[in-house]
Amino acid sequence: MSEQKEKVILGIDLGGTGIKIGLVNQSYEILAQTVVPTNAKRHYKQIIADMGNAAAALLVDNGYRLDECLCAGVGSPGTVDSHSGTVLYSNNIRWDNVPLAEELYKYLWMPVYVNNDANCAALGEVVKGAAKGCKNAIFLTLGTGVGGGVVIDGKIFEGGHPGGVELGHIKNGTEGRRCTCGRLDCLETYASATALIKEAKEAAISCHESLLWELCGEDPEEMNAKIPFDAAWAQDVWGMKLVENYIRHLADGITDLVNIFRPDLVVLGGGVCAQGEKLTEPLNRFLQENCFGAGVSYIPQVVTAQNGNDAGIIGAASFAYRQFAEGNIV
């Protein structure tokens, strides 16, 4: 008699450039993974065909039949109706009302669940990551934009209608910065890596004595989000000013979210979180002083994410497995 084989889960991270597909066990360990190009300009059916075929091949190549996989989860950019598994719209891949779950099912013959990628990543950090064991957590990803996910009572919080939980799109300043969403002064226009890089470029160009100029090799196009932190750490006044300003805006945004959700923990993901305590220490100090009820209420710690490059796969797999375990069918 052969030992019973543990069934697996597919976690799929749909990005603008590539589709990462992972084979995950029920402890959310990645057993194998692959990546296929998105080529986002194609018809969605072609993209999903590649996704489905690559996922099926990943299973087979690793010795699993389709019926040895419990379910598949996809984390998608943009606004998703998770109840129907539809991507309502995504600037990133230019999708509009794409029935992703339905279409992917044609290739995989197993339950397919879809949610926003940041929502998935939030759950991923709760099931296996920085917020493991927390019932309530906020996840903010500081990258091209500011994405966010909220877990309440162990579940992804999705708001009343699709288009909620857009944590990067709360007001954060009055400089009149135009956000990609059309509004002025969203948190994203101050706290994304893009915003920090843009300001660092401008500072480097306007002041060649600054360390910023030196660290980007005197080529502003080589600026990245790490350089201002390195410059600040080396006591460069321009770098210090940039980082101080960046952290103050981010701290204000996180304080807003804590006053609304009051989670156990705030988890930061995205490239900027590589700064670790250089980032979280001043944020935590600000929260202790500025959250509503400081001194009497519970104030969560801000920490950095742990799932790193696997966040998309683990997040999507965790969402799918939770939905599957609850018996939800798309």
Q: Which residue lies nearer to a second copy by CB, 166 or 199?
A: 166
In whole angstroms, give the CA distance from residue 60 to residue 64: 5
Query: Is 319 in contact with 75 (CB distance < 8 Å)?
Result: yes
Q: Which residue lies nearer to a second copy by CB, 4 or 174?
A: 174
Q: Which residue lies nearer to a second copy by CB, 154 or 276?
A: 154
Least distance (Å) from a second copy to the CB of residue 234? 30
Least distance (Å) from a second copy to the CB of residue 309? 27
Environment class of residue 117 by beta-carbon count within 10 Å: exposed (0-12), middle (13-18) or buried (19+)? buried
Environment class of residue 309 by beta-carbon count within 10 Å: exposed (0-12), middle (13-18) or buried (19+)? exposed
Q: Which residue lies nearer to a second copy by CB, 9 or 122?
A: 122
Least distance (Å) from a second copy to the CB of residue 189? 13
In whole angstroms, give the CA distance from residue 87 to residue 79: 6
Element (H, E) at 97: strand 95-98
In whole angstroms, give the CA distance from residue 281 to residue 294: 17
Closest CA to 216 of 201, 206, 229: 201
Residues at the site binding a second copy, with contacts judged by CB under 8 A: 79, 88-89, 135-136, 152, 159-167, 169-174, 181-183, 252-253, 255-256, 258-264, 289-294, 296-298, 300
Indicate the DSSP class of residue 184.
B
Q: Which residue lies nearer to a second copy by CB, 13 or 252?
A: 252
In whole angstroms, give the CA distance from residue 161 to residue 169: 16
Q: Which residue lies nearer to a second copy by CB, 231 or 242?
A: 242
Query: Is 145 in contact with 196 (CB distance < 8 Å)?
Result: no
Least distance (Å) from a second copy to the CB of residue 170? 4
Least distance (Å) from a second copy to the CB of residue 199? 17
Least distance (Å) from a second copy to the CB of residue 174? 5
